[in-house]
Structure 1
Amino acid sequence: MTFSDTDFDHLMTIVAEAAAREILPRFRNLGDGDISEKTSAIDLVTEADLLAEQYITAALKARFPGALIVGEEAYEADKSVVPALAHADLAFTIDPVDGTFNFAAGLPVFGTIVAVVAKGETIASVIYDPVLGDTVTAMRGAGTFLRRGKGQARRLSVAAPAALSAMTGAISWGHMDEPERSRICANLAKTRMTFSLNCSAYEYWMVASGKWHFIGHSKLMPWDHLAGVLAHQEAGGYTAKFDGTPYRPGETTGGIISAPDEDSWQMIRREIIGA
């Protein structure tokens, strides 16, 4: 199976339609019965997550009937789909509402993330902001772009390397265990400023556009990271797992750091993540 520029345009349309139909009408309009806990009080699922994923999945299956579809919410019913990403001819990962805690709280810091994977390589990605109507897009070898809702587009670039004390960014430590959790939180004081958005869509948006210098995560579910890593790399950045190996579709452990270049990555790995 192939994935063309026309297919990519169709994908962006599907994502925007799902947001308009299923996500935005429910933003700040959810009732108590529309929100459920998955693993904890900060790991939520809403009607918008479920219905938007169903909409995108159905549209992708109609256009690509042989493709593997890996949705965050459907994953609970069949966990074998994630390892299958490493070998699928064509696959899509979907995070319908990334930042569900923010969405459910009425905070407009959430997004829809879709990655396109072919033969073990991420080849295209869409990170969509339903509130603003803006999209960060990337295709392998063709750069990363911010596409505004009214049609304007500009190419994105990562931040220039800087001293650690001048860097801004985020390390998502919420899923880490002790003693790593406390050590990394303390080490973040070496930077200029750190943030916690609880939203991979916005974190990758910030680092791919050069607003932040770095981000890092310990939990590597593909719908959270494949699209963002491609966007960051196509914007000129360097991403690798904590052990220095590349992050690939199908992997869920090992942690990753995204930084302006390899030297910056090494500094963050040494000074923030530590041994």
Structure 2
Amino acid sequence: MLEQVETIVREVAEEVVLPKFRSLTAGEIEEKSPGELVTVADRASEVLLAKRLAGLLPGAQIVGEEAVAADPGVLDRLAGDQPVWLIDPVDGTSNFAAGREPFGIMVALVRSGRPVLGVIYEPVPGAMTVAEEGSGTYVDGVRTRMGSEPLTLGELRGGILTRFLPDGVRERVEAGVSGLGAALPGFHCAAHEYREIVTGGEEFAFFWRSLPWDHAAGALIVREAGGVARRFDGTDYVVGDGRTGLLAARDQLSFELLREALVDGLPSHWVTA
């Protein structure tokens, strides 16, 4: 099934996403909520992906970012026992709308809150990162596993996405970055952040907002490459649990070092929310 999903994602990118890259008119870009953009490519991509993925697994539910924007009740589908296709039709929409990279398409198959298949495709430059539970992570067809040699805090480089951090948390995180190898501003594209981690460009990514379509595929991809994707209290990321805060790291030791540096000491309601 993984190869079939890869094919579908590539085809949808070719049909409705790439033709609009750097070709959007002003009327094809909207603000669906304050600071959140959507384009005609997002909507067309989600419609096609939903239709084609539904044919792969009869009876599966579909949860797409734009469907949830129109009707938040769609998220309730994640709570059932049926498998769910989770779709991010264009991740990094602000980049895409501005005519810049990176941006991607993300699809995950979720069972009982656990992603079991994940596909991240970046149409420019045509990069495919995938994983299936128990079968490893593949980057452009080559199996990859992150390094296992221990790193110190000062050797850890990664994106810290501060845009959505509430007051109190922001100050704590900013106070803790001085010991890191590098605290990067991120790419405004979770799809690319996850690829950077599994290919060694970064060792971690720190997120506050953790919407399911942004992280289900990436969390599986990191885990299958030997890393971890956990909440700030150390528990595993569960799709659709409604919690905030997510730290993806190359290994458990790095996770613990980062958690101590960035979030230890925060009131418990921030860590377990």
Q: TM-score, normalized by length of structure 2? A: 0.91
Structure 1: gaps (5+ residues): 1-6, 148-152
Is the Cα–Cα contact under 8 Å of residues 14 and 56 in structure 1 kept in the other structure? yes
Identity of aligned pairs, percent? 38
Please state how far the C-alpha of 1:219 moved relative to its aligned partner: 1.0
Name the counterpart of 2:269.
none
Name the counterpart of 2:207.
217
Deviation digits for residues 40-74 of structure 1 (CA, Å, limit 9, x no counterpart): 23x21111101011110111223334111010001
Worse-matched range after superposition: 86-95 or 47-56: 86-95
**1:22 and 2:10 equivalent?**
no
Name the counterpart of 2:239.
249
1:105 to 77, 98, 122: 98
**1:40 and 2:40 equivalent?**
no
5 Å matches for 1:92-241? 92-147=85-140, 153-159=141-147, 160-195=149-184, 196-241=186-231
Say which SS state the counterpart of residue 187 (structure 2) adopts. Answer: coil
Is the Cα–Cα contact under 8 Å of residues 77 and 84 in structure 2 kept in the other structure? no
Change (3 A) 1:252 1:220: farther
Is the Cα–Cα contact under 8 Å of residues 82 and 222 in structure 1 kept in the other structure? no
Say which SS state the counterpart of residue 85 (structure 1) adopts. Answer: helix
Deviation digits for residues 88-121 of structure 1 (CA, Å, limit 9, x no counterpart): 3211100011000111111120100000112332
Say which SS state the counterpart of residue 72 (structure 2) adopts. Answer: coil
Please state how far the C-alpha of 1:16 moved relative to its aligned partner: 0.7
Is the Cα–Cα contact under 8 Å of residues 146 and 250 in structure 2 kept in the other structure? yes
Name the counterpart of 1:12.
6
Worse-matched range after superposition: 194-203 or 157-166: 157-166
Letter in 2 for 1:244: G
Is the Cα–Cα contact under 8 Å of residues 95 and 103 in structure 2 kept in the other structure? yes
Structure 2: gaps (5+ residues): 267-273
Is the Cα–Cα contact under 8 Å of residues 87 and 120 in structure 1 kept in the other structure? no
Deviation digits for residues 179-213 of structure 1 (CA, Å, limit 9, x no counterpart): 21233134223212222211100001111222211
Is the Cα–Cα contact under 8 Å of residues 87 and 108 in structure 2 kept in the other structure? yes
**1:267 and 2:261 equivalent?**
no
Name the counterpart of 1:91.
84
Q: TM-score, normalized by length of structure 1? A: 0.91
Please state how far the C-alpha of 1:131 moved relative to its aligned partner: 1.3
Please give the alpha-carbon distance, in whole angstroms, between the structure 2 residues aligned to 1:40 and 1:208: 32
Q: CA RMSD in A?
A: 1.5
5 Å matches for 1:67-82? 67-82=60-75
